[in-house]
Structure 1
Amino acid sequence: MIDHERDLAHLHAATERLLTAAGSLDNAAGAEPSRLPGWTRGHVLAHVARNADALVNVLRGLPMYPDAATRDADIERDSGRPLDVQLADLRATADRFQALGAEPADWSRTVELRNGVLDSASRIPFRRWIEVELHHVDLGVGYELEDLPEEFTDRETAFLADRFAGLESVPATSLRADDGREWKTGGTSGGVAVTGPAVEILGWLAGRRDGSALETTGGPLPKLPPL
């Protein structure tokens, strides 16, 4: 069962870690490349702020973004702001999301995200937690996948495995971490077994690692669609 209140608490802690890390940068560092191709750290910070506003829209029953072009333009517009402006925006948008999350609501209702994706409102705090944690890693400021909370790693791996489940473009794939945890993903044909450290499985599923630290049997490491 999804506990949105627990996820809001985890999200708050993750946001504080991100704000602390970003606060150690200066304007020059903010303009440097992030780990995401074509994006500076400023792009990442702008995206995290705009994503908070977008998920507020979702919880209010509004479109997540007006359209893809507007989403991209807003990130580009905000990417070059001075660091103090970035941090203030991050704080304000995070606070708005947390405040809305604390309001009484029907958390069992279905809401719509980008591209017509439907989900329970109760999962939106977790989706926001994903954005904050992974984009903190993307900043390239010393916070790595290995630093992610264990609960987050386990749940995000399961979430991503489920996301790719049923895709016939991805062969049926079993995932087994060194600690014994297992997941399945992909379509119904083929049959690839992937084993390795849990953090490397997460990194591959999330597009943050190339999978070279994983071992496969039954075929090569499957190519996953972009998130």
Structure 2
Amino acid sequence: MGRSFEDARRWMQEGTKAFLDAIGLLHGDDWDAPSGLPSWTRRHLVAHIAANADAVGNLVHWAATGEETPMYSSPEARAEGIEKGTRMSGGELLAWVRDSAEKLEAGMAGLTVDQWQTTVVTAQGRTVPATETPWMRDREIWVHLVDLATSTAFADLPEDFLEALRADVADKRGEVPEVFGTLADVTAYLAGRPYDNVALANGEPAPDLGPWL
């Protein structure tokens, strides 16, 4: 299934609300509980989502002004942003996520049709039109919502988003084995996340692909 720009913008808005709703229920020690990512607490993960909004916002600024603005000022800047978040209180982290998301949404809403076609460069060095930035944010917000390890699983994510994510991850990974299972399980498998039941055509367990995103 293909994905449209309108799809990506809708998923971003829905995912942002879902993520904010989830972290709004965290209290006290909840913030320091393990996330679904090795060595990261929920505090690390939430700081990453806030910093990611700021980073994607830099590309939106690039599109709006023509001023070359990389996602991160240096290779170390991404890690520094996450580390800064681990020293914040839960309330401060929640405010950072909310404020950065609102700023990103406002920036995107202000782009003209022509500005959306501006070429920008991702943190991985890919050259893409600015129209790809909502999808970049979609993947972060929805996959990491599951990684938050609260009550959301891949099966709870929008079906059309899962279809688009499955196709995108398979494409970016390159050669992957043909596996069978539910849409949610196959997508989780391709994304290197826990899944219930995915198998090869002969019924044997699917080989481990390792982490992604």
TM-score in same-fold range (> 0.5): yes
Q: How far, CA to CA, are the matches of 1:56 and 1:136 in structure 2? A: 20
The 3-state SS of whatever aligns with 2:188 is helix
Q: How far, CA to CA, are the matches of 2:25 and 2:108 in structure 1? A: 28
2:17 is aligned with 1:33: no
The within-5 A match list for 1:153-168 is 153-165=162-174
State the match for 2:98 in structure 1: 91
CA deviations on 1:180-204 (whole Å, 9 max, x unpaired) are xxxxxxxxxxxx4321111111111
Match of 2:85 among 71, 75, 78: 78
CA deviations on 1:157-207 (whole Å, 9 max, x unpaired) are 111111122xxxxxx44xxxxxxxxxxxxxxxxxx4321111111111111
State the match for 1:113 in structure 2: 122
Q: How many residues align?
A: 202
Tell me if structure 2 keeps the 8 A contact 1:109–1:121.
Answer: yes
Q: How far, CA to CA, are the matches of 2:180 and 2:3 in structure 1? A: 28
Larger relative contact order (C-alpha < 8 A, sep ≥ 6)? 2
CA offset at residue 42 of structure 1?
0.4
Q: How far, CA to CA, are the matches of 1:148 and 1:138 in structure 2? A: 12
Tell me if structure 2 keeps the 8 A contact 1:111–1:119.
Answer: yes
Task: Pick which of 199-208 and 47-56 moved more.
Answer: 199-208
The 3-state SS of whatever aligns with 2:76 is helix
CA deviations on 1:7-40 (whole Å, 9 max, x unpaired) are 2232122111111111111121101111110100
Q: How far, CA to CA, are the matches of 1:19 and 1:93 in structure 2? A: 12
Q: How far, CA to CA, are the matches of 2:169 and 2:205 in structure 1? A: 19
The 3-state SS of whatever aligns with 2:116 is coil
The 3-state SS of whatever aligns with 2:80 is helix
2:72 is aligned with 1:65: yes
Match of 1:196 among 165, 181, 184: 181
**TM-score, with length taken from structure 2:** 0.86
Q: How far, CA to CA, are the matches of 1:156 and 1:217 in structure 2? A: 22
State the match for 2:148 in structure 1: 139
2:193 is aligned with 1:208: yes
CA offset at residue 150 of structure 1?
0.6
State percent identity of aligned pairs: 32
The alignment yields a C-alpha RMSD, in angstroms, of 2.1
Q: Which runs of 5+ in 1 are unaligned?
A: 166-171, 174-191
CA offset at residue 126 of structure 1?
1.4
Tell me if structure 2 keeps the 8 A contact 1:2–1:122.
Answer: no
CA offset at residue 58 of structure 1?
1.8
CA deviations on 1:67-125 (whole Å, 9 max, x unpaired) are 23221122012123211111111110001110111113322332211131222211211
Tell me if structure 1 keeps the 8 A contact 2:119–2:130.
Answer: yes
Task: Note closer, same or farther for the CA distance 1:5–1:97 as it changes in structure 2 (3 Å cut).
Answer: farther
Q: Which runs of 5+ in 2 are unaligned?
A: 63-68
The 3-state SS of whatever aligns with 1:141 is coil
Tell me if structure 2 keeps the 8 A contact 1:153–1:199.
Answer: yes
Between structures 1 and 2, the one with greater helix share: 2
Tell me if structure 2 keeps the 8 A contact 1:8–1:101.
Answer: no
